[in-house]
Amino acid sequence: MCADSRKKLRIRKGITSLIIAIEGTVPEKVLPSGLDAPESTGIRVSLKYSTMTSTSRRRFLIAPLLGIPTAAYARLVEPTWLERTERSCLIPGLRKPVRLAHLSDLHASHDVPVSLIEDAVQMAIDFRPDLICITGDFVTDATGFDLNWYSAVLSRLSGRAPSFAVLGNHDGGLWSAPRGGFSTTGKVAGFIERSGVNLLVNRSMRIACNGAGLQIVGMSDLWSGELDAERAFREVDSESPALLLAHNPDSKTLAESYNWRLMLSGHTHGGQVVAPVLGFSPAPVLDRRYVRGLKPWRDRWIHVSCGVGNIGGVRFNCRPEVTLLHLLPGADRRIPALTSL
Ligand SMILES: [Fe+2]
């Protein structure tokens, strides 16, 4: 396919995503590759999950008044309009506060400019984090990025703070191979490891972070068929709190019986294209309570990042984000407010 045809296809996919969100239907065959929803995934109206800051709402409302058509806004403005978000949660067993920078779904590709990924990395560094976590989908497919460039960009993170990562469904293997991606995870794992970021493939590491002992557990991607929770948690104990990194938030049920306090995920892109007010979005997850933001699950927390990059070159009502999570020492018991779900 020539460059012109590829560009037209990307624009068509982007506009299709927008139409899907506005009309509130998700015919699987017209979804951009990578956002194909599981068969049992339905659209559910969710006012609770539709969030806009006052600044973003202003810009969102002003754009049409300035004569910028909605499709152009979704294509040209929002995909690179990076947002800094900040949230906090109590972590039982934690001895000191920890500043954690969470990035996800960088999606280096023809649709995502190099500058957006570099800006996101700088934003994470500017947080002055004690710990950095990246939850998968470093690439979209096997094209549109340079391995050495990627390694150099990520090394800026590992040079600032201990950095950990897991892979997503786009990063190679069973799911990505028939969709233009790598047949194995070797290439992506290679540039991550060369950057000094610790890649967790169904394993855990123990660290001392700002004087606080932490265990970082990483599970492989759910859709890749390589997730092995038993292996990932084999060396985890109850001496210090455990943070779980898993690309797809639906992975939580496979890790339910293990010891962790906070799960970091991505995959959904926050919906990527979200209908205003009603909150329709084509997020490819079964449990649609966990599409974006920090939410309780049983006696634990789950943080789902809206991600940095995108599929198809569009975003609407769902800006790319880099999050600073404040992990705070909490009581060593179940938190009543977290038992409602
Ligand atoms: Fe993704």
Considering only residues 13 and 39, tell me which one the structure prediction assigns the higher pLDDT.
13
Query: Does residue 181 or residue 330 have the better pLDDT?
Result: 181
pLDDT confidence of 211, banded at 50, 70, 90?
confident
CA of 269 relative to ligand 1 center, distance in Å:
6
206 Cα to the center of ligand 1, angstroms: 27
Whole-number Å distance, alpha carbon 154 to ligand 1 midpoint, is: 18
Q: What is the pLDDT of residue 210?
A: 84
CA of 210 to the centre of ligand 1 (A): 30
Distance 168 CA to ligand 1 centre (A): 7
pLDDT at residue 60 in the model? 54
Distance 34 CA to ligand 1 centre (A): 7
Q: Please determine, for residue 138, whether its predicted confidence score (pLDDT) is greater than 70.
A: yes
Residue % of the chain over a pLDDT of 70: 77
Ligand 1 centroid–CA 169 distance in Å is 8
- How high is the pLDDT of residue 78? 96
What pLDDT is attached to residue 16?
Answer: 39
CA of 15 to the centre of ligand 1 (A): 18
pLDDT at 44: 25
Task: Using the mean position of ligand 1's atoms as its centre, give its distance from the Cα of residue 67 in Å.
Answer: 31
Distance 109 CA to ligand 1 centre (A): 12
| pLDDT score recorded for residue 22 | 27
More reliable by pLDDT, 209 or 216: 216
What pLDDT does residue 59 have?
Answer: 57
Residue 232 pLDDT > 70: yes
Q: How many CA atoms lie within 13 A of 293 on its CB side?
A: 10
Query: What pLDDT, on the 0 to 100 scale, is given for residue 277?
Result: 82
Torsion of CA 133, 111, 31, 254, to 10 degrees: -10
CA 162 to ligand 1 centroid distance, Å: 23
Give the pTM: 0.81
Ligand 1 centroid, distance to 179 Cα (angstroms): 13
Ligand 1 center to residue 294 CA distance, Å? 18
Q: What is the pLDDT of residue 68?
A: 67
pLDDT digits (tens, 9 = 90+) for 54-94: 555 555 556 555 556 888 999 999 999 999 999 999 999 99
Measured in angstroms, how far is the CA atom of residue 134 from the centroid of ligand 1? Answer: 12
If you measure from the C-alpha of residue 248 to the centroid of ligand 1, how many angstroms do you get, rounded to a whole number? 9
pLDDT at 5 over 60: no
SS3 track for the chain: CCHHHHHHHHHHHHHHHHHHHHHCCCCHHHCCCCCCCCCCCCCCCCCCCCCCCHHHHHHHHHHHHCCCCHHHHHHHHHHHCCEEEEEEEEEECCCCCEEEEEECCCCEECCECHHHHHHHHHHHHHCCCCEEEEECCCECCCCCCCHHHHHHHHHHHHCCCCEEEECCCCCCCCCCHHHCCCCCCHHHHHHHHHCCCEECCCEEEEEEECCEEEEEEECCCCCCCCCCHHHHCCCCCCCCCEEEECCCHHHHHHHCCCCCCEEEECCCHHHCECCCCCCCCCCCCCCCCCCCEEEEECCEEEEECCCCCCCCCCCECCCCEEEEEEEEEECCCCCHHHCCC
Q: 147-161: per-residue pLDDT in tens?
A: 999 999 999 999 999
Q: How far is the CA of 163 from the centre of ligand 1 (A)?
A: 19
Ligand 1 center to 180 CA (angstroms): 15
Cα of 65 vs centre of ligand 1, distance in Å, is 32
Domain 3-330 fold: Purple Acid Phosphatase; chain A, domain 2 (3.60.21)
Q: Identify the pLDDT of residue 170.
A: 98
Cα(93) to centroid of ligand 1, in Å?
A: 32
Distance 337 CA to ligand 1 centre (A): 31
Confidence check: pLDDT of 43 > 50: no
Q: What does the pLDDT read at residue 56?
A: 52
Q: What is the mean pLDDT of residues 131-151?
A: 97
CA of 17 to the centre of ligand 1 (A): 15
Question: For the chain, what are the domain ranges?
Answer: 3-330
Predicted local confidence at residue 69, as pLDDT: 86
237-266: per-residue pLDDT in tens?
Answer: 999 999 999 999 999 999 999 999 999 999
